[in-house]
């Protein structure tokens, strides 16, 4: 009986892979993967393991999700240990839930192996705690990709009138729209923002600014990158360690 492991690959640093993820990768007969922050992970597979790239960048699918679902399903007919490897955590903007639901309808056995999400770990490697006593009591993780559909109108910015930390994944190409909108709803122009690119890897880059100037400052930063907005960003001045 085949089993599909919907597995989180973590944010990039290979040592942030879980022991469980490493085990299923080592035992995999086939690995179906997206663009990963660290492709070195694939080298942990056995020699006979097959690899299927179903590339996905910043939420833009090179391959439609239905096709990916079908590839995972077909793999379960042909191989015993199927690993579906996804960046970060499979259930945080990874469409892992959809893939699991598809396997459920096809009666394929599956297991979810959570991964360390970039939403929390990438800020941590930049010296930014997502919550901090007396600074921010909670944090939200949003997709900034929604915004790309011509405008950001389908994102509920009113909802972001808050002092919570806000983390935008998949938002880099909308950075100027997002920061403009946040100023419009009343966040201070000087509200601190960081853009973190290729976090947790040796190529990590961090640009710090304010809602007013971050878009210009982060212009040429490579993806994957996330945006973090809130007073916690200032803690980086002291907590920057990586």
Catalytic site positions: 34, 56, 170
Note whether 89 binds ligand SAH by CB under 6 A. yes
Taking the complex as a whole, the smallest distance from the CB of residue 174 to ligand SAH amounts, in Å, to 11
Strands (E), the chain: 3-8, 30-33, 50-53, 56-57, 60-61, 81-86, 109-113, 139-143, 165-169, 192-197, 205-210, 225-229
Which one of residues 54, 100, 122, 155 is an interface residue with ligand SAH (CB under 6 A)?
122
Note whether 112 binds ligand SAH by CB under 6 A. no
On the CB side of 34, CA atoms within 13 Å amount to 30
Note whether 72 binds ligand SAH by CB under 6 A. no
Measured CA distances, 4 to 27, 46, 194, 198 (Å): 12, 17, 37, 28
Q: Which of 79, 119 has the CB closer to ligand SAH? A: 119
Strands (E), 38-154: 50-53, 56-57, 60-61, 81-86, 109-113, 139-143
Q: Which two tokens stand for residue 5?
A: 């492991």
Q: Which of 66, 203 has the CB closer to ligand SAH? A: 203
Q: Which of 118, 179 has the CB closer to ligand SAH? A: 118
Q: Return the residues of window 16-35 that contact ligand SAH according to CB under 6 A.
A: none
- Taking residue 24's Cβ as centre, other Cβ atoms within 10 Å add up to 20
Per the listing, tokens 């980086």 go with 236
Note whether 92 binds ligand SAH by CB under 6 A. yes
Which residue's beta carbon is nearest to the bound ligand SAH? 88
Backbone conformation region of residue 8, classed left if phi is above 0, alpha if psi is from -120 to 50, else beta: beta
Note whether 127 binds ligand SAH by CB under 6 A. no
| Contact of 61 with 53, CB cutoff 8 Å | no
Note whether 196 binds ligand SAH by CB under 6 A. yes
Angle at 130 between CA 228 and CA 199, to 5 degrees: 55
Cis peptide before 224 (omega within 30 of 0): yes
Which one of residues 21, 25, 69, 94 is an interface residue with ligand SAH (CB under 6 A)?
94
Taking the complex as a whole, the smallest distance from the CB of residue 33 to ligand SAH amounts, in Å, to 13
Site string for ligand SAH, 129-168 (x = CB under 6 A): ----------------------------------------
Note whether 179 binds ligand SAH by CB under 6 A. no
Which one of residues 7, 75, 81, 117 is an interface residue with ligand SAH (CB under 6 A)?
117
Secondary structure of residue 85 in the 3-state scheme = strand
Give me the residues that bind ligand SAH (CB under 6 A), please.
11-12, 37, 58-59, 86-89, 92-94, 117-119, 122, 169-170, 196-200, 224-226
């Amino acid at each position: 009986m085949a089993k599909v492991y919907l597995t989180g690959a973590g944010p990039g640093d290979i040592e942030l892979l879980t022991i469980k993820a490493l085990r299923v990768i080592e035992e995999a007969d086939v690995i179906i993967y997206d663009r990963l922050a660290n492709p070195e992970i694939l080298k942990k597979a056995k020699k006979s393991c097959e690899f299927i790239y179903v590339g996905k960048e910043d939420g833009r699918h090179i391959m439609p999700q239905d096709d990916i679902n079908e590839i995972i399903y077909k793999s379960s007919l042909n191989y015993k240990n199927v690993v579906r490897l996804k960046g970060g955590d499979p259930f945080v903007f990874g469409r892992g839930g959809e893939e699991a639901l598809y396997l459920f309808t096809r009666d394929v056995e599956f297991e979810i192996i959570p991964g360390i999400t970039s939403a929390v770990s990438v800020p941590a490697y930049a010296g930014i705690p997502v919550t901090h006593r007396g600074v921010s009591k909670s944090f939200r993780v949003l997709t900034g990709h929604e915004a790309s559909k011509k405008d950001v109108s389908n994102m509920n910015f009113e909802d972001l009138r808050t002092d919570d930390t806000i983390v935008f994944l998949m938002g880099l190409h909308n950075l100027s729209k997002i920061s403009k909108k946040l100023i419009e709803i009343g966040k201070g122009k000087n509200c601190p923002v960081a853009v973190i690119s290729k976090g947790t890897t040796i190529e990590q880059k961090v640009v710090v600014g304010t809602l007013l100037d971050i878009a210009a400052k982060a212009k040429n930063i490579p993806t994957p990158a996330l945006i973090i907005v809130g007073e916690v960003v200032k803690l980086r001045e002291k907590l920057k360690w990586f």
